[in-house]
Amino acid sequence: MTQTQTLLSAQSLSGGCQCGAVRFRVTGHPGVATVCHCRMCQKASAAPFLALVGPGEHPVQWTRGKPKWFQSSNAARRGFCGDCGTPLAYDAPDGLALSVIAFDEPDRLPPVLAFGIENKRAWADGVPHLPPRHTMDDLDEAAFLETLVSYQHPDRDTEEWPPETLLAEDHA
């Protein structure tokens, strides 16, 4: 077992969707994280690839809400939040996998293998070499960023969501 796997095996990892309607927890040692460049994963994530990880030896606990499912092929279905659309899971005969980016601490689950490279977007290799900018570097073009208030669920478990202050703003 690697040092990272030993560290992760003693803890639980939680995650969920952008709006907070669906939350999950994985206990123990998660599986191996991978990325998939296949066309179905690209479309399901609206991204050049989808990073996935299995829950390991223990089943996923859906701690708030449950995903909706789309049967993407005769062998697999995709789980997502029915309220905000966040991709959450991939379920196939070889087991369930969760979206790495949906975890509260996705950097703890770095992918170690890439699948579906026959569909890898040719421009994807150039992304790390693009000129970098911080979000707030674009204030001249996107002044709204200065007063932006996020309604996204925080990257941690909460007793309830949304908080009463957000509910009050929605009905004001």
The domains of the chain, with CATH numbers, are: 3-122 (2.170.150.70)
Predicted local confidence at residue 170, as pLDDT: 59
Range of lowest pLDDT (5-14, 79-88, 149-158): 5-14
Q: In the 8-state DSSP scheme, what is residue 168? A: H
- Tokens representing 126 are 């150039």
Q: Cβ(13)–Cβ(105) under 8 Å?
A: yes
Which amino acid, one-letter code, is at 74? N
Give the strand pairing for 68-71 and 61-64. unpaired
Residue 6, pLDDT above cutoff 80: no
Q: Which residues contact 56 (CB under 8 A, 6 or more apart)?
A: 26, 28, 29, 30, 31
Find all residues with CB under 8 Å of 162, minimum gap 6, and list them: 20, 151
From CA 88, how far away is CA 100, in angstroms rounded? 8
Q: What is the pTM of this model?
A: 0.84
The reported pLDDT for the residue numbered 7 is 46
Q: How far apart are CA 63 and CA 5, in angstroms?
A: 23
Q: Which percentage of the chain shows pLDDT scores above 90?
A: 69
Which pLDDT does position 23 carry in this prediction?
Answer: 98
